[in-house]
Structure 1
Amino acid sequence: MAHSGVHGNNLTYPLLLKACANLPSIQHGTMLHGHVLKLGFQADTFVQTALVDMYSKCSHVASARQVFDEMPQRSVVSWNAMVSAYSRRSSMDQALSLLKEMWVLGFEPTASTFVSILSGYSNLDSFEFHLLGKSIHCCLIKLGIVYLEVSLANSLMGMYVQFCLMDEARKVFDLMDEKSIISWTTMIGGYVKIGHAVEAYGLFYQMQHQSVGIDFVVFLNLISGCIQVRDLLLASSVHSLVLKCGCNEKDPVENLLITMYAKCGNLTSARRIFDLIIEKSMLSWTSMIAGYVHLGHPGEALDLFRRMIRTDIRPNGATLATVVSACADLGSLSIGQEIEEYIFLNGLESDQQVQTSLIHMYSKCGSIVKAREVFERVTDKDLTVWTSMINSYAIHGMGNEAISLFHKMTTAEGIMPDAIVYTSVFLACSHSGLVEEGLKYFKSMQKDFGITPTVEHCTCLIDLLGRVGQLDLALNAIQGMPPDVQAQVWGPLLSACRIHGNVELGELATVRLLDSSPGSSGSYVLMANLYTSLGKWKEAHMMRNSMDGKGLVKESGWSQVEVTDTYHTFAVGNQSQVA
């Protein structure tokens, strides 16, 4: 058109600029801007608004603002385009300032204005912004436009879902006269996000009764819910619906189905789905390998990885981190070193997820020196890397080294600790008998960082006190814990009673354990061993008879050793077995 000598008009250039925005192509956009200036469209509100929108969607907000400021006349659409530009990059202070300015100048905001602002809040992670979002909700109620457009109500729900305020989101949802597929998907996804899978499925059943069309995004949310609850029957039902609606061949759905069945303990179904995928993506391979690792089949995971690297698919950091975890579970230092060589050959040695897995693998395989070498190679250590190394020292009984590294992390590096790293610190104190340090960190965790003790923290504390014979102090600590936590920590106390020969306290711990977990054989065995260690054969016999009478069986422990690249497993009373 341009070469033929025909010039565009004020309808042509907005269409072209919209094309540039959709690509997005700033090069073509600036070229068209030159044409607009040359042809004298500077005063055309329609064309200038299209320029603002184009620069905004091409991530050139400063240029969008310059065009906006130079416009001799602006429409509500022009203001909306600029508000949208700031909201898209989550510059909410500028967006709100512009909203107030347009209001003062007599331009009444529309539903589109607030959709942009609410979308901007939905992209923010900080919970502090939810109060500003609520103020926008109040403004919408005052203007009477909350339910004027479905997209506006959806954006309002999306903001509340982002901040996990599902009660507020549900109120908006329930008051909507008209609901779109996005309305239902937003609510279902929100319930899954906060771990309320039951509510998500209840809403899905309502959705089916409303004859709303179902897309694959709904199934992504439902499958994620199955992964949370790990209910195989529910997983099978969802899979049936996926097949019925023909969404089973979409790559994200296939990968999640593999993960879903693996998390529900059904590797057979997971592998069947994997094998039926004709063109397997890297995510498909990773999902299946992760499924094997999750259910304790590291050998199968490694076999599948070897098969994968013989294809054209190249693993990413997540795949290799999962494979390294399989080596850790297998306890094979030689294979772990082979995988590390492969990692270097493929240039993924700087991937922090891979580095963290390597630290864990070398630690589990008994090479704390190699674990430390990997740790020292990490240039920009995050909390996960520090935690992995601290935990490595902890499980090797190197409590002082673990505490020294924790101190360096929090003071010299200024990294804020979380509940997980404190679990490793308590484990280090427990394995090394560092009672005073353990008690100090237990108090500091709550006082200095506001971290509420978890079951893992409490278990480590009781184990720490029990190992050094502070049984009365351990009992007092347990009695001050919530009932649901107490049920989990009597076990470490019973183990300590056996070590220190305290029958009276051991009997109390056994009673409490059996009250909370009557089907556990471990409590009977520990108490029987305590009686045996003190020569109380009659009581030990009665305890074992009681266990037999309830039909409880203790699972045999087993060990594994690598000999010339072959794995042998050993169980009590059994001959060696090649794995």
Structure 2
Amino acid sequence: MIRNCAVEHNLEGAMNIFESLKKSGAELNSVVYNTVLDACVECAELEKAQRWMEQMKKDGMSDVVSYNTLIKAQLQAGNMKKAKALVEEMKAEQLQPNCITFNEIVNATVSDKKLRSEVWSVIQEMQAAGVKPNQVTCSILLKNLNSSSSEVDIDQTMSLINGMEEQLDEVLLSSVVEACVRIGKPDLLNTKLRQLMSGDIKVNGSHTFGSLIKAYGHAHDMKSVWRCWKEMRTRHIKPTSITVGCMIEAVVSNGDPDGAWHLIQELGEDPSCKGILNAVIYCSVLKGFTREKNAAKVWAVYEEMQKHNIDLSIVTYNTLLDCCARCCRMDGVPAIIEDMKKANIKPNIITYSTMLKGHCQTGDISSAFKLVKEMREEADLVPDEIMYNSLLDGCAQSSLVDEGLRVLQEMQEAHVKPSNFTLSVLVKLMSRARRVDYAFDLVKDLSEKYHLSPNSHVYANLVQACCFSKQLQRGLKTLEEMMVRKVQPDKRTYSMLLRTAVQQCQFDQADGLLRGALGVSGALPFLDKPWSLCPGVEEAALSETLSSMASSPEGNKVAAGFLVDVRKEKPKVWVDPAVQRCVLQGGQGAATWTERRSSKGKGKGKGQRA
């Protein structure tokens, strides 16, 4: 009766029942007192709960359950200090805190970003009190792990699980593999999967099989994915929609949408699996075929969904539109929009964004602008950053500078903050219009206005603009600015500057760039930073630069000196042997090498180290 009052948030009624019981002369015990305390907490009456606790202590009815209940209430109210004070009070009352006590504190600690760093000190307190972390403790810690977790948190959590005395059960197994997937470290995932599956755990639940399938899929271990699936089916464990979803996603994400589709068709013919297949499962296959730009199979899957009366969602239709955009088949869009109307599904911002991207990719900018107008007027939706960036990119591809600047102005008037991607597209737009000065001005002004720090992609486009306009010194100045801002150049940045330097017979500059990219002595003065290195600088670009330099007596001399130093300092750097012979022979064969590279493309043949 007291519990029913608590559920109805009738604390007065709960108290009246207790008083009636007391007056009747019935024997009272801690269970009844704790039920009243629970009612106070359930009704969010923390002060009354504290007063009732005092009454319990006075009547000699307080126990570990009482303290745990009050600790939980204090934690829910955000009072960590009071909760910890109650733990000390328990000890003073000669009551031993248990796993429930500490697990509540651990859970509250990891749930609060400000307190999360203190979780291991709580674990230490727990162990110092003679309470060993259990499966619940480990599950709480695992839920907190993700791709941004520190190595310390990951290692300590895994060590805690390995050192746990309790037998690892199916629920914790599922939590471990799901945490490893979230962390996003394939080596750790593979190691834990081997450790876990070498034990005596017998998996009986469909959910756990789903977690394992998902994990093996992330580890690209398709042999184990199919092994788990076949074991589950052989043992007649009925899969849930979530398990099937994990299986289909694992097969699709590992490059086999055909295999996933075939599996769906098999399940559709199994009477025991009726009702399992849904739009989410089919959508994984649709996305797989869309990524492959296989429009024919996308439509075949869509027709199958309609045939089996699958409830289609906005995600389904957006995937179909994405296929049209990727395959440059925008003529298929009207039919999809018509089907959406029949299904009473309204387009959302992603729908319009996908169509917009498709129009821009096909160069139909006028349709893209009409679509934005329609979206505002008919759907009452406002373009987001992605849509504005797509419009800007479309303008850049078609060299529509004025239209692009109007889009930028509209974007700012709509209070949509530009990003580094926006800056990168704007630089491309200005570069194609040969307005290099304006490209630099835009990056400077927008970066200051919106507190942006240009990244390597923005700088690469600025360097490209300089190279296209034959402004090598300005490109080098931009590279120097990257060094000051600690932005590491990518392969494209170095390749463009090297090609431009050689074309302008600036062989010393090309030599200094190569040395800076590879970490060889004698680099340009500003390329002495750790982030100036670019170990992945294209070997073709390296060989092309040396070969082009070798065609000139002055350049060949510089190239020969570079090769000598590379042999000494970076013997593992690969240089085409034909280019080495060309340089050592004073430039003979440079033209032949260039022609051979042109005919073979950018592939690397057999060669030797410098």
TM-score normalised to structure 1 length: 0.69
Q: How does 1:169-318 map to 2 (within 5 A)?
A: 169-176=189-196, 177=199, 178=201, 180=203, 185-186=210-211, 188-190=213-215, 193=218, 199-211=220-232, 213=237, 214-217=239-242, 220-221=245-246, 223-224=248-249, 231=255, 234-246=256-268, 249-275=277-303, 276-277=305-306, 278=309, 279-301=311-333, 304-305=336-337, 308=340, 312-318=344-350
The answer for the alignment partner of 1:381 in structure 2 is 418
- Deviation larger for 340-349 or 318-327: 340-349
Which AA in structure 1 matches 2:195? L
- Contact 1:261–1:270 (CA under 8 A) maintained in structure 2: yes
Matching residue of 2:183 = 163
> 1:547: which partner in 2?
none
Name 1:137's counterpart in structure 2. 158
Residue aligned with 2:133, SS: coil
Deviation of 1:187 (Å):
5.6
Deviation per CA, 1:294-315: give whole Å up to 9, x if none.
1222333465346646763232
* Of 118, 124, 129, the match for 1:105: 129
In structure 2, the partner of 1:550 is none
**Of residues 76, 90, 100 in structure 2, which corresponds to 1:77?**
100
Question: What percentage of residue pairs aligned between the two structures are identical?
Answer: 13
Distance in 1, matches of 2:421 and 2:42, equals 43
**2:191 partner letter:** K
> Displacement, 1:324?
1.3
Does the residue aligned with 2:221 lie in a helix, a strand or coil? helix
Q: For the residues of structure 2 that align with 1:242 and 1:49, how far apart are their CA atoms? A: 49
Counterpart code for 1:295:
C
1:11 is displaced (CA, Å) by 7.4
Displacement of 1:512 in angstroms is: 2.2
Shift of 1:77: 0.6
1:341–1:69 CA distance, 2 compared to 1 (3 A): farther
* One-letter code aligned to 2:387: V
CA–CA distance in structure 1, aligned partners of residues 37 and 458 of structure 2: 51
- CA displacement 1:445-483 (0-9 Å, x = unmatched): 4674353624x4455446655776779977997997879
Secondary structure, aligned partner of 1:103: helix
Q: Given that residues 362 and 370 in structure 1 are in contact (C-alpha distance below 8 angstroms), is that contact kept between their aligned partners in structure 2?
A: no
**Distance of 1:137 and 1:431 partners within structure 2:** 53
AA in 2 matched with 1:130: E
Q: CA deviation at 1:284?
A: 1.1
**Which of 346, 355, 364 does residue 388 from structure 2 map onto?**
355
Contact 2:317 2:340 (8 Å CA) reproduced? yes
Deviates more, 1:180-189 or 1:364-373: 180-189
CA positional deviation for 1:288: 0.8
1:126 aligns with 2:148: yes
User: 8 Å contact 1:430–1:464 — kept in the other structure?
Assistant: yes
The one-letter code of the counterpart of 2:129 is: L
Aligned partner of residue 376 in structure 1, secondary structure? helix
C-alpha distance after superposition, 1:370-390 (max 9, x if no partner): 232234334433333333333
Question: Structure 1 residues 331 and 426, CA, compared in 2 at 3 Å: closer, same or farther?
Answer: same
Query: Structure 2: where are the runs of 5+ without partners?
Result: 19-28, 57-61, 91-96, 519-533, 549-587, 604-610
Question: Does the aligned pair in 2 maintain the 1:10–1:46 contact within 8 Å?
Answer: no
Q: Is 1:439 aligned with 2:476? A: yes
Residue matched to 2:538:
485
Residues 74 and 80, structure 2, Cα contact 8 Å, conserved in 1: yes
Shift in CA distance, 51/326, structure 1 to aligned 2, threshold 3 Å: farther
Partner Cα separation in structure 2 for residue 325 and residue 418 of structure 1: 23
Question: Offset of 1:269 from its aligned partner?
Answer: 1.7
Structure 1 residue 339: deviation in Å? 1.4
- Is 2:78 the counterpart of 1:62? yes
Counterpart amino acid of 2:187?
Answer: D
Q: How far apart, in 1, do the equivalents of 2:33 and 2:328 lie?
A: 61
Aligned-partner Cα distance in 2 for 1:313–1:364? 33
Q: Is the partner of 1:449 in helix, strand or coil?
A: coil
SS in 2 for 1:304: helix
Task: Note if contact 1:83-1:95 (Cα within 8 Å) is conserved in structure 2.
Answer: yes
CA 1:160–1:352 in 2, change beyond 3 Å: closer, same or farther? same
- Aligned position for 1:320: 352
Q: Residue 76 of structure 1 contacts residue 107 of structure 1 at CA under 8 Å; is this kept in 2?
A: yes
Q: What letter is aligned with 2:232? A: S
Deviation at 1:83, TM superposition (A): 0.8
The change in CA–CA distance for 1:369 and 1:351 in structure 2 (over 3 A counts) is: closer
Paired residue type of 1:62: G
The answer as to whether partners of 1:395 and 1:427 remain within 8 angstroms in 2 is no
Between 250-259 and 469-478, report the one with greater CA deviation: 469-478
Task: For 1:301 and 1:51, locate their aligned partners in 2 and report how far apart those are by CA, in whole Å.
Answer: 60
Q: Of 497, 500, 508, which aligns to 2:593?
A: 508
Q: Secondary structure at the match of 1:211?
A: helix
Distance 1:446 1:84, change over 3 A: same
Alignment partner of 1:332 is 2:348: no
Report the residue type matching 2:159 in the other structure: C
Instruction: Indicate the residue corresponding to 1:394 in structure 2.
Output: 431
Distance 1:184 1:347, change over 3 A: same
Partner of 1:420: 457
2:289–2:295 contact (8 Å) kept in structure 1: yes
Q: How many residues align?
A: 492
Distance 2:168 2:540 in 1: 53
Shift of 1:287: 0.8
- Relative to structure 1, the CA distance from residue 326 to residue 148 in structure 2 (aligned partners, 3 Å threshold; closer, same or farther) is closer
- Helix, strand or coil for the counterpart of 1:96? helix
From the superposition, tell whether residues 393 and 336 of structure 1 become closer, same or farther in structure 2 (CA, over 3 Å).
Answer: same
Q: Which moved more, 1:319-328 or 1:64-73?
A: 64-73
8 Å contact 2:41–2:73 — kept in the other structure? no
- Of stretches 284-293 and 184-193 in structure 1, the one that deviates more from structure 2 is 184-193
- Quick check: 1:270–1:288 contact (8 Å CA) kept in 2? yes
**1:55 touches 1:63 (CA, 8 Å); kept in 2?**
yes
User: For the Cα contact (< 8 Å) 2:330–2:359, is it kept in 1?
Assistant: yes
* More displaced stretch, 294-303 vs 260-269: 294-303
Alignment partners' CA distance in 2, 1:222 and 1:292: 26
Counterparts of 1:290 and 1:242 in 2: how far apart (Å)?
22
Cα distance in 1, alignment partners of residues 374 and 32 from structure 2 = 55
**Residue 567 of structure 1 corresponds to which residue in structure 2?**
none
Deviations 1:519-566 (A, max 9, x none): xxxxxxxxxxxxxxxxxxxxxxxxxxxxxxxxxxxxxxxxxxxxxxxx
| 3-state secondary structure, aligned to 2:131 | coil
Would the alpha carbon gap of residues 46 and 317 (structure 1) be closer, same or farther in structure 2, given more than 3 Å must change?
farther
Q: Alignment partner for residue 372 of structure 1, among 408, 417, 441? A: 408
Seen in structure 2, the aligned counterparts of structure 1 residues 257 and 470 have a Cα distance that, compared at 3 Å, is farther
Deviations 1:403-443 (A, max 9, x none): 33334455665434434333433332333333223334446
Contact 1:258–1:270 (Cα < 8 Å) also in 2: yes
Structure 2 distance, partners of 1:491, 1:309, is 56
Return 430-439 or 68-77, whichever deviates more.
68-77
Query: In 2, Cα distance between the equivalents of 1:459 and 1:172?
Result: 42
Q: Evaluate the alpha carbon distance shift between residue 375 and residue 504 of structure 1 in structure 2; reply closer, same or farther with a 3 A threshold.
A: farther
Report if the CA contact (8 A) 2:455-2:487 is conserved. Answer: no
Q: Root-mean-square deviation (CA), in Å?
A: 4.7
